[in-house]
Structure 1
Amino acid sequence: MEKKKKSIISASLTVETSLVLPVFLIFFAVFLYFIQIFILQEKLQQVITDVGLSYAKTAYFYSDFLNIDEAKNFDESFLDEELREELRIFLDAAGYAGMIKYAVKSRLNEISFNSSCIAGGLEGINFDCSKVMQGSDDIDIVASYKVRIPIRFFGLPEIDMIQRVRLRAWSGLKLPPLYSVVEDDDKSKDKTVYVTESGSVYHLDINCSHIKLSVKAINQIPTWQRNNNGGKYYPCESCIKGEHPETGIYFITAYGDRYHIKEDCSRIKRTIRQVSLSEVEHLPPCKRCKGG
């Protein structure tokens, strides 16, 4: 009787072990999988931050140019090799978001990421929503990707992940001088300049692209088009409210990043006034046309 009792106890322990052990192993494997995800996220975040800081540093030099084309045609011979290379990489990123992906990939271990839980490996990381100084001094690097689930429970899809770093370009702050030289000749003060109703700068050239916008009409939402800086177009917050049709007449500008449903939208309409420089001495000159 005692022998029979011992064998029953032993059998019950075996059954319990066979039920509990697989559950424990599954939870342990899931725990290790999430640890791997956290490690990859930490590596990726560190790299996109390094890339953003590199762009922010180079932006100080780029801020002296009017546009990307002028910077690309600049004589780089007097720059040292490191700064020359950083400027080239920055200009490529400002004109095309795909170059941001290239800069990030060059800093990561391709083998470890391609064999990781990220769907598609390094190629599965998308940077299309990134912007480098497009309409502002912001450097916004956005990395989006999907994480594979090792065991599909109840048809769960891949997990969407987004990592982001947003920095301000180190373009410097130009303070107004504490004193000014007074000249006997007042001709400079009588110089004609141009301002807009809500402008915060004055312009020396009436054809400056900041005030003379090139408005173009298109017959559908510009999902595939890019502006001259390589950026996407988004709906204007001023003239487009809520849902709007895919096709129809919309208006875009060469350097803007919004599309408009009204040609006279306040965001693209400029009322230009011609004034003397002495009237707007308190305003700084436009960086784009200050060279005349």
Structure 2
Amino acid sequence: MFCGSITVEAAAALPLFFFAVLALCCMLEVTAVRTSIRCGLQYAGKAAAETAYAKPFLLPGSIEQDLVQAAGADRLDRSLVESGSGGIRCEGSRMSMVTGIMELEAAYRVRLPLPVFGGVSVPMEESLRVKGWTGYEKAGLLTGEEETVYVTETGMVYHRDYHCTYLELSIQMVPASALDGLRNESQGKYYPCSGCVHGEAHGLVYVTDYGEKYHSSLNCSGLKRTVYALPLSEAVGKGACSKCG
């Protein structure tokens, strides 16, 4: 009787023990995968920062390629990442034309090969901010206690936040064929820029999150922002920005 009870308890405990070991191994593997992808994202960010002065925008495909190269394609293909090295997406990465700060994001899914969970996949995301090598602007340009505001050459408003979305242009490359269904953050359509779009657009064009125009050239003046810092008292005739004012 005594030996029989031990056998029953062992039969019930062993599956739980093996499940705990399997769960621990999965946790260690997920941690290792996240560390590899974060290191790869840091490598991709450094590579993008080095070319930020000559190329003031981000190509998600290049970020993904550099990330996979740094993390190791074979390592990712053998990991718990769904679709392996091809399952990492960096579409959310962007760069500010004003500050040169790049926000990199790597989204992917991790499979959990545990019978209890039915082999489900869990979404994961790694992110970091990197300053592009575009130069340095010393803080504290103005003295005294008067508030500092920011204006552009042709803008009719002043901004209290240097990182206002109307000052930071997040440029994206999109196919011209997708413009009809594309909307900006205000749900408005994109119209051709009178300065750089002549005739029907083809291939890839450039748009911004809050802009109303699409551009065929990255050097178009509509994609440039020259920002000046000045005391609020000198912003005569300008109204406050609807977002940061």
TM range (shorter): 0.5 to 0.7
Partners in 1 of 2:50 and 2:117 — Cα distance?
48
SS at match of 2:71: coil
Partner of 2:231: none
Alignment counterpart, residue 155 of structure 2, candidates 180, 196, 217:
196
State TM-score, norm by structure 1. 0.51
RMSD: 3.5
Partner of 2:21: 28
Change (3 A) 1:154 1:52: closer
Residue 255 (structure 1) shift: 4.5
Partner of 1:147: 110
State TM-score, norm by structure 2. 0.59
Partners in 2 of 1:234 and 1:156 — Cα distance?
38
Change (3 A) 1:109 1:154: closer
Give the partner amino acid of 2:31: F
- For residues 161-216 of structure 1, the C-alpha deviation after alignment (integer angstroms, 9 at most, x for no partner) is 0101112223223469x9xxxxxxxxxxxxxxx6432368xxxxxxxxx9xxxxxx
Aligned residues: 174
Residue 43 (structure 1) shift: 1.6
Change (3 A) 1:35 1:174: closer
Whose radius of gyration is greater, 1 or 2? Answer: 1
Partner of 1:124: 87
CA contact (8 A) 2:45 2:63 kept: no
Residue 97 (structure 1) shift: 1.2
Give the partner amino acid of 2:59: Y
Change (3 A) 1:157 1:135: farther
- For residues 20-57 of structure 1, the C-alpha deviation after alignment (integer angstroms, 9 at most, x for no partner) is 01111111111111111001111211221132133224
Partners in 1 of 2:116 and 2:122 — Cα distance?
13
Give the partner amino acid of 1:108: A
Alignment counterpart, residue 256 of structure 1, candidates 208, 215, 220:
208
Partner of 1:106: 69
Residue 154 (structure 1) shift: 5.5
Q: Which runs of 5+ in 2 are unaligned?
A: 142-152, 160-168, 170-177, 194-205, 213-221, 223-233, 236-245
Alignment counterpart, residue 47 of structure 1, candidates 40, 43, 47:
40
CA contact (8 A) 2:40 2:69 kept: no
SS at match of 2:75: helix
Quick check: which one's strand share is greater?
2
Partner of 2:121: 158
SS at match of 2:102: strand
CA contact (8 A) 1:250 1:259 kept: no
Q: Which runs of 5+ in 1 are unaligned?
A: 1-7, 63-70, 72-90, 179-193, 201-209, 211-217, 223-232, 241-248, 261-269, 271-281, 284-292
